Amino acid sequence: MELTREQQDMLEGKCGEGAAIAMKIQVAIGESFNAERMMPITRAHVALSNQEADLWFAERLLKAGAFCKIAPTVNPGFCLSYFKNAGMVDDKYADLMQRTHDAYKGLGAVLSYDCTPYLGTNIPYYGEVVAFSESSATPFVNSVWGARSNREAAQSALCAAITGYVPEYGLLLDENRRGDILVEVQADMKSDFEYQLLGYMGKKIGNGIPVFTGLSKPITLESFMNLGAQLNTSGAYGMYHVVGVTPEAQTLEQAFGGKEPKRKVVITNEDLENILQEISEVGNRKVDFAMFGCPHFTLNQVQEIAEMVKGKKLAAEMWILTSSHTKEMAERMGLSSIIQEAGGIIVEDTCPDQPCWGHLNGKFGVTESPKCAYYPKRRGMSFIIRDLRTCVEAALKGEVI
Ligand code: F3S
């Protein structure tokens, strides 16, 4: 790779050991993808994790004197003050979360603890070169905002935030942003929920950049958020196009860059019904809890729940996970009190795949997110997946009918 004087100095340790480690990793990534040079970035999002290996990496960089040139927003772990005060988390995990907080604070990150930064705190503009990790974040910034990011790992995004550069390869280049697979959606996309199921069709869609047709406008931000999150739960996708909607796909020809699609796939109502049956526990049973906010819930979604539970009492626990910004807005707007009076809890900075959910081990829940049902399985939680309205009704009755 050809490096500028500044990048070469960083690599040689003239800007400190921390920057040198980060640059060394990025040059190795760049060389393995045949990148010719580095590109400056203006934003980053790190899918931080409070697990030991990820924390080791962040602390290693911190001890080596690294500091982020571009302050990245970060993913959720769990809300330390809430779960510690509630006695819901062991000291060992509380300590890991505290150390994660301290490490990222020391590195100069924006401690947002939110996995949907592209909707509020970290929104790139069209064509901006950025380094975003996190399943729903990378496809959203590429596909909806038209920014340019590779599908970064938490570690490579952190290195990019430290050096201020990314190797130029993959989705940073025009020729790699064109569509590969034509996905004709014949299914009825009635609500944001169908986009969760469409996203979970990764096995049928296959590898490459999907170009969706047949999706009628308007498509909500929540639908795009769901689509990206589930595409990266059922497969690995840095970007997609929706013809006539996303900025680089105003026409089918533009989406494919004038080339023929490598594959054609049709998605029907039956496909969505089948995938739901495959990934959801069987319904018609009592449920212990409802969990929403994977990815973190938007204010619209919190509002929808508040309207449904107003003046009622929940028969099952209800957890709504969101960003601290959305939680604050929900409090100001009186939505939090409505949900709390019904018996629900809105908690910020928290993800379902965390050690703070020990009391739900062995329990049955409802969620509208296949991703929420997928990862916490290893923590002993089982989920029935339904649309949001059905899930809220189930939490009110204590059972899915
Ligand atoms: Fe966000 Fe955690 Fe789900 S990072 S998308 S809430 S698994």
Is-contact 69 163, C-beta < 8 A? yes
Residue 279 corresponds to which tokens in the numbers above? 């990934």
Q: How far is the CA of 371 from the centre of ligand 1 (A)?
A: 8
103-125 pLDDT, tens digit each: 999 999 999 999 999 999 999 99
DSSP for residue 271: H
* DSSP state string for 158-180: HHHHHHSEEE--GGGSGGGSS--
Which residue has the CA at smallest separation from atom 2 of ligand 1?
A: 351
* Location of structure tokens 């308007």: 218
Give yes or no for residue 101 having a pLDDT over 90.
yes
User: Can you give the pLDDT at residue 10?
Assistant: 98
Distance CA 199, CA 223 (A): 10
| Percentage of the residues of the chain whose pLDDT score is greater than 90 | 99
Nearest atom in ligand 1 to the alpha carbon of residue 115 is 1
Q: How far apart are CA 211 and CA 52, in angstroms?
A: 38
CB 229 within 8 A of CB 295: yes
pLDDT at 401 over 90: no
Measured in Å, residue 182 CA sits from the centre of ligand 1 at 28
pLDDT of residue 122: 98
User: Using 50, 70 and 90 to split pLDDT, how confident is the model at 216?
Assistant: confident
Radius of gyration of the CA atoms of the chain, in A? 21
395 — pLDDT class (breaks 50, 70, 90): very high
pLDDT of 18 reads 98
Q: What is the pLDDT of residues 237-270, one digit of tens each?
A: 999 999 999 999 999 999 999 999 999 999 999 9
Average pLDDT, the chain: 97
- List the alpha helices (DSSP H) in 262-334: 269-279, 299-309, 324-332
Which residues lie with the beta carbon below 6 Å from any ligand 1 atom? Answer: 75-76, 115, 136, 229, 294-296, 321, 351-353, 371, 375
Q: Which of 49, 51, 100, 135 to mutate to test the pocket of ligand 1 (most atoms within 8 A of CB)?
A: 135
Q: What is the pLDDT of residues 322-362, one digit of tens each?
A: 999 999 999 999 999 999 999 999 999 999 999 999 999 99
- pLDDT, tens digit, 9 for 90 and up, residues 36-85: 999 999 999 999 999 999 999 999 999 999 999 999 999 999 999 999 99
Pocket test for ligand 1, best of 353, 356, 368, 374 (most atoms within 8 A of CB): 353
By three-state DSSP, how is residue 292 classified?
strand
Cα 161 to Cα 301: distance, rounded to the nearest angstrom: 31
The DSSP annotation for 76-127 comes to -B--HHHHHHTT-S-HHHHHHHHHHHHHHHHHT-B----S-GGGTT--PPTT
